[in-house]
Structure 1
Amino acid sequence: MRSTYRVEIHWREPHLDGRVAQLLRRAAQWVRVPVRQAAVVDLYFLRGALSPEEVERIAQELLADPVCQRPQWRRLEAEEPPPPPDGRWVVEVMLHPGVADPVAERLLEGAARIGIRGLEAAATGTRYELWGDLTRDQVVALAEGLLHNPVIQTYALGELAPNLEVAARPSDEVEVIPLRGMGPSQLLALSRERVLALSLEEMEAVQEHYAALGRDPTDVELETLAQTWSEHCAHKTFKARIHYTWAGGLPRHLPDGTLGPPAGEEEVDGLLATYIRRATDEAARPWVRSAFVDNAGIVALDEEWDLSFKVETHNHPSALEPFGGANTGVGGVVRDILGVSARPIANTDVLCFGPRDLPDEDLPPGVLHPRRVEGGVVAGIEDYGNKMGIPTVNGAILYDRGYVGNPLVFCGCVGLAPRDAHPRQVEPGDLVVVLGGRTGRDGLHGATFSSTALAHDTGQTVGSVVQIGDPIVEKAVMEAILRARDEGLYHAITDCGAGGFSSAVGEMAREVGAEVELHHVPLKYPGLRPWEIWLSEAQERMVLAVPPANLERLQAICRGLDVELTVLGRFTGDRRLTVRHRGRVVADLEMDFLHGGLPRKRLEAHWQPPAHPKPALPDAPDLGATLLRLLARPETASKEPVIRRYDHEVQGGTVVKPLVGPGEGPSDGVVLKPLGTKEGRGLALGCGINPWVGLLDPYAMAWAAVDEAMRNVVALGADPDQVALLDNFCWGDPNLPDRLGGLVRAAQGCYDAARAFGAPFISGKDSLHNEFGDPEGRRTPVPPTLLISALGIVPDVRRAVTADLKRPGHLIYAVGLTRRDLGGSAWFRSLGALGDEPPRPCRESPRLMRALHRAMRQGWVRACHDCSEGGLGVAAAEMALAGGWGAALDLRNLPRDAGVDRDDVALFSESLGRFLVEVPRERQREFEAAFHAEGLPIGLLGTVQEAPMLAIVGLAGREVLRLPLADIRRAWRGEDA
């Protein structure tokens, strides 16, 4: 007889459960509810023809840790729920029906493995038992503000009844959309209602196409066109023709050494072609193996191995459901690396949140508090990377009010593959094969949703875009793909990302055509309509083009790894996309129209510099207090609590780690030596990002981001002539001329800076429409945000350099010129203003970095740290706390221009192209000669000291700062004195 059982897993000593301490802390700090004590109970619901003995086996062998947990269970049909426990409140939380439940799926597999065949369905939940002098309103506030997310979960005070059924609608329902009879307003209304994110011109193009065919489109066809033409997939803004005008701002520093005009107008024939891809073409680096073609950019590590790199954003989903959004962001970028037939060897993450201390009354309606967003995002990244065995090694965390309604989550992944191991050519007759997870409604409209702005009610209107990841499945898929790659079993591969099968099959079949039978698609549950099956962005799925002769061997590999494999159809050669469901044609699209029918956008852009006041500078600044304040700022302060949650050692290839030296100070980036590759050679990863400069001038921001990313990897030992760049733009609505004007400025800065360094862009991503709309209709964009990621080749990892000071008596040099570059700086922001002059481009940076790299190759450099957030002062403090040694510096020897006439300006300027470098005394002459021979600015600032003290002599020759390392460390770590 089929029954439903409720299994509870209790901790024998609830206070030993780490979740309890976190709940108590967050209840007090986030929701301000005084919970005295708590217990967290894992819930499992089992349905099937199970005997009591089998339920007990499942509970004991699969669900409970016998050392610290005890199970209890009951059959729901036979037993009444126990009365509410005295003196405590109970909150139970479960996923909404239809939301992916990876733990339940693993439970079904586990039961089968221990020989229990009667388990038919499972679900999971969490029970919170709360003690304290609490009112019902307080418990509700706790449930809604901390314990559940309404986008994916439901809750109850007391016991929840499980819903192990998914409501099934007729799964063969296909709607014909009466497009031909619609007027402009009806077309736009249809686009909004179906979350198509298509403009009137684009809707009319679809209408005209079907009018010429003499029929209306099916919902499958219309949804396919919408995702293929979405901003997310088609990059319409970066390919648009733009009429651009500008008046003022920093003049362009052009590659020929001249300056651009202060005002004017021009026609831009696509941002991607004119600036980003052009920089790569003109750099013409022979070690670039693939750029802007595949799922990820590819460069040569050596003559035997290639490296791939991709950074994606998962912003909108992370705003709605932080854990799931970030979790699947990592999963998606890992699949991008699998999509170029590479093994993932490292992850990166750069995160932008609202302030942790944002007052509750300042939180817009419908928005999760930044504390909750950050906690969920970090947990989601940890969950996916750690479970897949991929080290998370590099990143940054920024805080600004501009990210309250629209957090940004950048997820990156690096892969390693043998040279020429990635096949790309689909052949007619190849089978369309899908590997991995099953398909559900999760992730629907992800591509089109990410092409629109967020609003206060987005979670209620398009909650289905949130996906739930299952890294265990993706781990098995990864191993299957790598074995298939090594045996040459497929002709092409791509991932199921935005748009699901419609995007994956549609792109792979672009030159040949394909026919697919949706009835073959494995489903998580019944009731999906054909368009939902076709468009679902359910996770952990890859699509391969497999020659029929290789299918049996691929099936054997997948069986051995418990990876589900399904043949969906074949690639045809007729250049049509034909989709069937139970034999009935539900979509018939010409590839020429699907990929070539999108009208090219024509946009207007205008730029003029905004007005931002300068702060009033103190007459007699306390430089020690200022430095401690800068070290304690959230952007600068230690990220160790986050770093330690990520496994950055797994795979055994991390040479320079995120924290360095005996004091575990911040590193500029990381150095990796992939296992199995040639001795010595490795790679460095770093990044550059500064949205506060973007608020002043996006052109200056782009230069600053490229310069910082280059500095990060060169400081570690990377060759500046073997650095590849990735660009990730997060912007507001590009249809507004002022927003687009800033985007044009940023793209120009990318081109000019990349050309100066000779560094090619190999991949990138634009995430536009990052705006939040409040109930009154006001829309606020995120700060203009550009992330530049850098991958540099380290010729010999044994010469890699870290930032921690190494030995008393060594010399400390300032490399690069300090100017009065304070606009957008951490110092100015700490004084309550941005300033009006952004940091200027540094044309000397490429030559400085080449000279510094040559010195590193000679072994003359013992420590190196770039000067960025907080300037030279923060860089010196970080080097000292990392190494555990003091430093004595004299600003009179600082290379500077005439504008640097104050000690605070000298210490906290954020001029580009600068490093602090530790050099042994016996190498002083060679080191100085290497820079002087080329007329490059360096200055001997001082020495490493045995006494744990940072002492600085100012421009007037008197000591202006003296701080014990203990004070520096406490400020940086956020510890009380």
Structure 2
Amino acid sequence: MFNRVEICGKSASEDGKARGIELIIEEDLGLKVDDIRIVEAYNFQGNFSNDEILTLRNSLFCDKVYQNSFVGFHHLTEEEYDFAIEVAYKTGVTDNVGKTASKGMEYILKRDVKENDVKSSTLYLFRGNIKKNDIELIASKVLCNTLIEDYYIFYRTDAKKSIDYKFNFETAEKIKPYEVVNLEVSDEELMKISREGILSLSLEEMTTIRDYYRDEKIKSERKAKDLPDNPTDIELELFAQTWSEHCKHKIFAAEITYENCGEVKVIDSLFKTYIKKSAEIIKGKRDDLLSLFKDNSGVVKFNDEWAYCVKVETHNSPSALDPYGGAMTGIVGVNRDILGTGIGAYPIFNTDVFCFGDPFIDNKEVPDGLLHPRRIFRGVHRGIKDGGNESGIPTVNGSISFDNSFLGKPLVFCGTGGLLPLKVNGKDSYEKYTKSGDLIVMVGGKIGKDGIHGATFSSDHLSEKSPTSAVQIGDPITQKKMVDFIIEARDKDLYSGLTDNGAGGLASSVGEMATFTNGAVLYLEKCPLKYSGLKPWEILLSEAQERMTVSVPKDKIDDFLELSKLRDVESTAIGEFTENGLFECFYNGERISSVSMNFLHNGVPKYKLKAKWKNNEEKKVEFIDEDIAQSIKNLLKRPNIASKEYWVRMYDHEVGARTVVKPFMGKNNDGPSDGAVLKIFPNSNEGLVVTHGIVPRYSEYDTYCMAANAVDEAVRQAACLGANPDKLVGLDNFCWADPVESASTPDGKYKLAQLVRACEALYDLTIKYNCPCISGKDSMKNDYLRDGKKISILQTLLFTVVGKVEDIRKSVTFYFKKPDSKIYLIGDTKSELAASEYYLMKNIKGGFVPKVDPDAALANYKKLYGAITDGLILSAHDLSDGGLSVALIEAAFSGKVGCDVDLSVFGGNLSLTDILFSESPSRILVSVNPENEKKLLEIFGKNGVLYLGETTSGDNISVRYKDKIVLNENLTALKNIWKNALIF
């Protein structure tokens, strides 16, 4: 029996969400509606008495203080409206509200309610004269993501019409344990199998798998196990997942023949040659690097009792399809990476960095099949907000960059840091202790179709054929319960190892953990499912969220399951770790998979690729700006520079009570911090700094400079905040357009050479800064291809830095603190404006790309650390986007302090535009009390810093150059320009 309860606010005029949707419809579609009313509906099937429904209305669904409730399709049949749109998740997509409602119904009614018998939906009632095709636009472009949701349109004339809801995933046929995939076919047919199966396997990989099954020994073994000569569908899917670019990082592991200006060298693995090697060299000099590149995140010693770990992931492809779900599962997924580190770490902070297309681009300029950048922006932002806030983890650091190269695929970087004791139950916490005979236990959510082929899909370019099943929906509340349960079970010594279920689901998590024992067996019928009808291979590969795989010794399984039940967390034993060298799966007693662990993990063919670099000639640009003041105002409005507070303020920065230096600081707490500082324990002043660097626009000229500047920016910001430069660690996240030469990527050799140069820069800078990469990730197929047209991202390296702050009380913030302090600039300014925000604004090509001198930079950072430790520095602000002009203005208006500076001190052949807008790296703007000037000069030397001027008591910035006033502006007016430019 179908039941429905509708909930709406008592006062429609106070519905802020409705007003926000009205604004989006007007801004994005150019349509004006008179009014919107929003109704939340709970649809459920089953036998419920009128008294039970009344109880649910009053006790669960409705807050009678400000809401009204109705039974049935009240609003569609009784209320006034011109048209209505109802939106609900498609069958099989996680419905968190419906799931939570079913739990509440069980609790209140004291009886079982099936999770899939409850479905939430949202009804939008519109007043206004809107054409039918425009109503379709409102539904599909604003209210509904048709990949994961359905929408239904009603007109007042259809008032008696109801909605046909389907509550269960139904299948008309009995589930077959497996299908046999015939690989004894032509090369063309092999590639067709790969394409149509979304396997993303190359011809060489397909033939390698075919040859494995042709081996007489393998044939004999399979015959003895009653398995076919050819692979079963679950086996082929397992190979595709394990060998995917996403999981195997085949480009970074490739043998590359690299040509640069006639010189040729062979690189055996970019990862081993540059990233891992530099970390190993630095590890030999430091005693705090505990675990690098062998776990879900890197682990670093914090003090004698605790360690911290950090991981940053990307969720680009899912976020392009479903911005909200993609971003949410990105952040809750990286939370699980931390939980799955060592024997289990507790997440304490999040970071997020986004790259989008121009949010103000005209709708007509957005290619078919792509979402408008504004819609992606809003969805990603909401996903990160909900994922972090509802998990109780503060978002402490991040940034947003804009460029139309990100129209095809947005970049969504999600990071998390966590804590773990150095010892847990007398053992090193950063190791795993899984043994043969331990049970495989799946903990957390149930399995559904969400995220199937996520790993293989993200290993290819985006197109109109990208699978909707790759989209996932997160449930942070369920995950929060799981996190707390896992940490409690850890401390009770109830399990021996764990990892998260991310890309590839059980195939990946069990496959990885099975390497500790050299084997595993799974009984897939034991896996708890969201609904019936999933095929065994879908159960194995599903990336349904909120799940961990845990190894539990048999003598502890009862205690583990008892605690799990007590904490209302679902845990199920689904198999056992073995040592027979096989990954095996059964379904209802029938063996459906048996593959060699060695071949599964080591059998993938090694790429052999070619890269060729060509230098871009740099030339000086002669340009005179006739209106410096107006240029600065225009610069402050640019999306990459303008305030992001309107969006970022919605994140919870305070939960956990650790954030000391927050994302916004200043007299009004609305200025842009260089990074975050966290006080880790209440009884200690030790802290952590969190910063990052990202400058994709430089890669248009030279990816070496792009990568070097990203590293320097992150280290520079950490220096500004008072971090110990000897105790910094980094994380590298590469996002690249396809660098493998092919018919669709004819410039693959150059793009691969760009990757080589970026890795060379990463090696050089991490060695110089003694800042090793402890973890990282690469995303190598960030292209959109449709109808022969391709959009490729700017090659991008995000470099995240985390490090020790010895005493958080000495941390320094970026804004000027008071009048009459002295302003100095640390670091050299050069004519380096290629790809700068200023040149981009002026549409100027050419110039010189900013280049890092790491020796000079590190010397200054160490001197600054000494000055901060001695209490000499009032403020320190790094110069980045927009150069000196933006840094001065931000420091002044955030502190509500004026400034009077003279730029005539800059020597050489620098022009005024060079001085104001150059983005030369390694520069820091500091202010000191007059009595500390002498000490500052003693530390840096008279030629090590430039005296620019002093702060004033007014609300004005005055800039002179060669006896002329070139800028004289009210700071409040400049701040308003900066603060309001990115609100939509």
1:254 is matched with which residue? none
Number of equivalences: 944
Q: Secondary structure at the match of 1:237?
A: coil
Give me the whole-angstrom Cα distance separating, in 2, the residues matched to 1:889 and 1:644: 32
2:542 is matched with which residue? 536
Give me the whole-angstrom Cα distance separating, in 2, the residues matched to 1:278 and 1:926: 40
Instruction: Select the residue among 949, 962, 965 that pairs with 2:956.
Output: 949
Instruction: Select the residue among 341, 345, 350 that pairs with 1:342.
Output: 345
Give me the whole-angstrom Cα distance separating, in 1, the residues matched to 2:844 and 2:570: 56
Structure 1 residues 645-660: aligned runs within 5 Å: 645-660=650-665
1:481 is matched with which residue? 486
* Structure 1 pair 936–314 and aligned structure 2 pair: CA distance change class (3 A): farther
Give me the whole-angstrom Cα distance separating, in 1, the residues matched to 2:170 and 2:844: 55
* 1:832, distance to aligned residue in structure 2 (A): 1.0
Instruction: Select the residue among 54, 57, 78 that pairs with 1:56.
Output: 54
Does residue 972 (structure 1) correspond to residue 978 (structure 2)? The answer is yes
Does residue 875 (structure 1) correspond to residue 895 (structure 2)? The answer is no
Amino acid at match of 2:380: V
Q: Secondary structure at the match of 1:119?
A: coil
Q: Secondary structure at the match of 1:803?
A: coil
Amino acid at match of 1:445: H
1:230 is matched with which residue? 244
Does residue 264 (structure 1) correspond to residue 275 (structure 2)? The answer is no
Does residue 566 (structure 1) correspond to residue 572 (structure 2)? The answer is yes
2:778 is matched with which residue? 766
Instruction: Select the residue among 88, 92, 95 that pairs with 2:86.
Output: 92
Structure 1 residues 435-834: aligned runs within 5 Å: 435-455=443-463, 457-458=464-465, 461-512=466-517, 513-610=519-616, 617-618=623-624, 620-663=625-668, 664-676=670-682, 679-735=684-740, 736-775=748-787, 777-834=788-845
Please list the CA deviations of residues 402-424 of structure 1 after superposition, one character each: whole Å capped at 9, or x if unmatched.
01111110000010111132441
Aligned 8 A contact 1:54 1:116 in 2:
no
Give me the whole-angstrom Cα distance separating, in 2, the residues matched to 1:427 and 1:153: 43
Does residue 903 (structure 1) correspond to residue 890 (structure 2)? The answer is no
Aligned 8 A contact 1:611 1:836 in 2:
no
Give me the whole-angstrom Cα distance separating, in 2, the residues matched to 1:415 and 1:6: 43
Q: Secondary structure at the match of 2:251?
A: helix
* Structure 1 pair 612–464 and aligned structure 2 pair: CA distance change class (3 A): farther
- Percent sequence identity is 38
Give me the whole-angstrom Cα distance separating, in 2, the residues matched to 1:82 and 1:394: 45
Please list the CA deviations of residues 746-795 of structure 1 after superposition, one character each: whole Å capped at 9, or x if unmatched.
111111111111110001000011001122x1222111111001102111
Instruction: Select the residue among 34, 37, 49 that pairs with 1:36.
Output: 34
1:329 is matched with which residue? 330
Please list the CA deviations of residues 612-645 of structure 1 after superposition, one character each: whole Å capped at 9, or x if unmatched.
9976623x43222222211111111111111111
1:379 is matched with which residue? 382
Q: Secondary structure at the match of 2:380?
A: helix
* 1:939, distance to aligned residue in structure 2 (A): 1.2
Q: What is the TM-score normalised by the length of structure 1? A: 0.95
1:937 is matched with which residue? 944
* 1:116, distance to aligned residue in structure 2 (A): 4.2
Aligned 8 A contact 1:393 1:670 in 2:
yes
Does residue 140 (structure 1) correspond to residue 145 (structure 2)? The answer is no
* Structure 1 pair 416–160 and aligned structure 2 pair: CA distance change class (3 A): same
Aligned 8 A contact 2:621 2:847 in 1:
no
Give me the whole-angstrom Cα distance separating, in 2, the residues matched to 1:169 and 1:701: 55
Structure 1 range deviating more: 530-539 or 571-580: 571-580
1:257 is matched with which residue? none
* Structure 1 pair 60–936 and aligned structure 2 pair: CA distance change class (3 A): farther
* 1:923, distance to aligned residue in structure 2 (A): 1.1
Amino acid at match of 1:918: S
1:258 is matched with which residue? none
1:66 is matched with which residue? 64
Give me the whole-angstrom Cα distance separating, in 2, the residues matched to 1:780 and 1:165: 39
Does residue 155 (structure 1) correspond to residue 156 (structure 2)? The answer is no
* 1:555, distance to aligned residue in structure 2 (A): 1.6
* 1:177, distance to aligned residue in structure 2 (A): 3.5
Aligned 8 A contact 1:436 1:477 in 2:
yes
* Structure 1 pair 81–650 and aligned structure 2 pair: CA distance change class (3 A): closer
Give me the whole-angstrom Cα distance separating, in 2, the residues matched to 1:716 and 1:796: 11
Amino acid at match of 1:694: S
* 1:333, distance to aligned residue in structure 2 (A): 0.3
Give me the whole-angstrom Cα distance separating, in 2, the residues matched to 1:779 and 1:807: 52
Amino acid at match of 1:223: E
Where does structure 2 lack aligned partners over 5 or more consecutive residues?
Answer: 155-161, 220-228, 423-427, 741-747
Does residue 291 (structure 1) correspond to residue 292 (structure 2)? The answer is yes
Give me the whole-angstrom Cα distance separating, in 2, the residues matched to 1:369 and 1:976: 16
Q: Secondary structure at the match of 1:336?
A: helix
* 1:975, distance to aligned residue in structure 2 (A): 6.4
Structure 1 residues 410-425: aligned runs within 5 Å: 410-419=413-422, 420-425=428-433
Amino acid at match of 2:501: C
* Structure 1 pair 84–211 and aligned structure 2 pair: CA distance change class (3 A): farther
Aligned 8 A contact 2:642 2:982 in 1:
no
Give me the whole-angstrom Cα distance separating, in 2, the residues matched to 1:118 and 1:207: 49
Structure 1 range deviating more: 651-660 or 958-967: 958-967
Amino acid at match of 1:268: I
Give me the whole-angstrom Cα distance separating, in 2, the residues matched to 1:976 and 1:824: 21
1:914 is matched with which residue? 923
Aligned 8 A contact 1:615 1:828 in 2:
no
2:6 is matched with which residue? 8
Q: Pairwise CA RMSD of aligned residues?
A: 1.7
Q: What is the TM-score normalised by the length of structure 2? A: 0.94
Please list the CA deviations of residues 841-872 of structure 1 after superposition, one character each: whole Å capped at 9, or x if unmatched.
22311111000001100110111000011111
Aligned 8 A contact 1:49 1:118 in 2:
no
Q: Secondary structure at the match of 1:157?
A: strand
Structure 1 range deviating more: 531-540 or 660-669: 660-669
Amino acid at match of 2:757: R
Give me the whole-angstrom Cα distance separating, in 2, the residues matched to 1:833 and 1:480: 56
Amino acid at match of 1:719: N
Instruction: Select the residue among 428, 441, 447 that pairs with 1:433.
Output: 441
Instruction: Select the residue among 883, 891, 900 that pairs with 1:888.
Output: 900
* Structure 1 pair 34–84 and aligned structure 2 pair: CA distance change class (3 A): farther
Give me the whole-angstrom Cα distance separating, in 2, the residues matched to 1:83 and 1:549: 60
Amino acid at match of 2:62: A
* Structure 1 pair 691–560 and aligned structure 2 pair: CA distance change class (3 A): same
Aligned 8 A contact 2:177 2:587 in 1:
no
Amino acid at match of 1:272: F
Instruction: Select the residue among 962, 967, 977 that pairs with 1:961.
Output: 967
Aligned 8 A contact 1:243 1:604 in 2:
yes
* 1:49, distance to aligned residue in structure 2 (A): 1.8
* 1:191, distance to aligned residue in structure 2 (A): 0.5
Aligned 8 A contact 2:82 2:129 in 1:
no
* 1:84, distance to aligned residue in structure 2 (A): 7.6
Give me the whole-angstrom Cα distance separating, in 2, the residues matched to 1:804 and 1:836: 31
Please list the CA deviations of residues 688-707 of structure 1 after superposition, one character each: whole Å capped at 9, or x if unmatched.
00111011110000110000
